[in-house]
Amino acid sequence: MAEDIFDLTVIGGGTTGLFATYYASMRGMSVKVIESQSEFGGKVMQFFPEKRIYDVGGFPDIFGESLVYRMIDQARRHEPVMITGEWIENIEKRTDDFRLRSSEGRDHYSKAVLLATGNGTFHTKTAPEWEALPHPTFRQQVASHLMHKERYHNKRVVIASDNKVGVGWALYLKDQASSVTVVNPNETFHQVKDADLQALLDSHVTVYFQSSLTDLQVVDEQLEYVQLLDKDQQIVTIEADEIVTFHGLELQQTPFADWGVTIEKGRIPVKGDMATNVAGIFAAGDIVQYEGKTNLIASGYTEAITAVNRAHQSIDPKATEQLYSTVIYRN
């Protein structure tokens, strides 16, 4: 079977990777983007979809979720191949291209590679009792972020969290949902600011401390209620439509050493061309380091442009170093 070799494969589908995907396809390159999470959007999707962002050009302010949606739409314009749920564990440099192998055993082939991975993939921890609860298929689909926030509008929401993140969710959802209940197995929340905790306690949100979930009632994959054991060892039943959970993070680090990519102090050192030490592999976004580097969404865009243009020239020396979009789209 003939190998389908792309001009560029972008590893990482956060904001930098999505823009790199769009820009490379705009330049006429065949492009594939591979994201290890189940959704595109990276840190914006995972950590602040419900927050406003004020430092992206062209938007006086924009919710993180809206930015992700717009970037996905933009990335899709020239119909690149977009893959979620695959973790690339091996990159092999061949004579004229690279073979990328995922942990799922799938092979991808590319003339050049752009790393937009950050340090890796963050996986959300759950409460100790989570795996003992019924309905495993439902539990696997429970959200650990607030993307698709419309699903919580006028709904009865349970937040299972011992972290400041859960407090932030509750303060956001208290005016969106019909009811919000927070279940915390501890006496307080990790890393929470006193003002935020007081705002939570002064609100109409119901908070159960030193409590653990004991049961979920799910019918046709729709949550109907949760049960918990409170600090007085009493069983409490809470009617609910949605549940979200956050008990901290675990980082699955990108295997740069296995790929032969040099790392210094947790970052890939690059110069102005965004090239790594491996010919044909470029990098952009939070993972790169150079003098004057800033870890901003907008910074990732400019780095992606440079990386794509240099990758283009690496596979086609006759390629123009840059092109204006007004020229590309003039017809």
pLDDT digit string (tens) for 198-249? 999 999 999 999 999 999 999 999 999 999 999 999 999 999 999 999 999 9
Domain boundary among 247, 266, 298: 247
Amino acid present at 76: R
DSSP for residue 152: G
Domain that holds residue 320: 5-122+250-328
- Residue 90 and residue 147 in contact, taking contact as beta carbons nearer than 8 Å: no
Q: Looking at the structure, do residues 259 and 199 belong to the same domain, yes or no?
A: no
Q: Looking at the structure, do residues 235 and 261 belong to the same domain, yes or no?
A: no
Residue 88, annotated as binding a ligand: yes
Q: Looking at the structure, do residues 239 and 265 belong to the same domain, yes or no?
A: no
Q: Is the pLDDT reported for residue 324 higher than 90?
A: no
Q: What is the DSSP track for 106-135?
A: -EEEEEEEEE--TTEEEEE---TTGGGSS-
Q: Looking at the structure, do residues 83 and 161 belong to the same domain, yes or no?
A: no
Residue 326: per-residue pLDDT:
86
Tell me, what CATH number does 290's domain have? 3.50.50.60
Q: How does residue 2 score in pLDDT terms, banded at 50, 70 and 90? A: low
Residue 122, annotated as binding a ligand: yes
Q: Looking at the structure, do residues 98 and 150 belong to the same domain, yes or no?
A: no
Q: Looking at the structure, do residues 233 and 258 belong to the same domain, yes or no?
A: no
Domain boundary among 191, 225, 247: 247
Q: Looking at the structure, do residues 135 and 111 belong to the same domain, yes or no?
A: no
Q: Dihedral through CA 200, CA 201, CA 202, CA 207, nearest 10?
A: 90
Q: Looking at the structure, do residues 148 and 230 belong to the same domain, yes or no?
A: yes
Q: Under 8 Å CB-to-CB from 259, ≥6 apart: which residues?
A: 90, 91, 278, 281
Work out how many domains the chain is built from and give that number.
2
H-helix or E-strand spanning residue 197: helix 194-202
Q: What are phi and psi of 151, to 5 degrees?
A: -65, -20
Q: Looking at the structure, do residues 164 and 221 belong to the same domain, yes or no?
A: yes
Q: What is the pLDDT of residues 163-204, one digit of tens each?
A: 999 999 999 999 999 999 999 999 999 999 999 999 999 999
Average pLDDT over residues 10-28: 97
Domain boundary among 247, 272, 296: 247
Q: Looking at the structure, do residues 47 and 69 belong to the same domain, yes or no?
A: yes
Q: Which two tokens mark 13?
A: 């589908």
Sheet holding 222-229, edge to edge: 212-219, 222-229, 235-239
Going by DSSP bridges, is the β-strand pair 107-115/281-283 parallel, antiparallel, or unpaired? parallel
Q: What is the pLDDT of residues 130-148, one digit of tens each?
A: 999 999 999 999 999 999 9
Average pLDDT over residues 257-273: 95
Residue 35, annotated as binding a ligand: yes
Average pLDDT over residues 261-276: 96
- Residue 139 and residue 223 in contact, taking contact as beta carbons nearer than 8 Å: no
Q: The pTM is what? A: 0.93
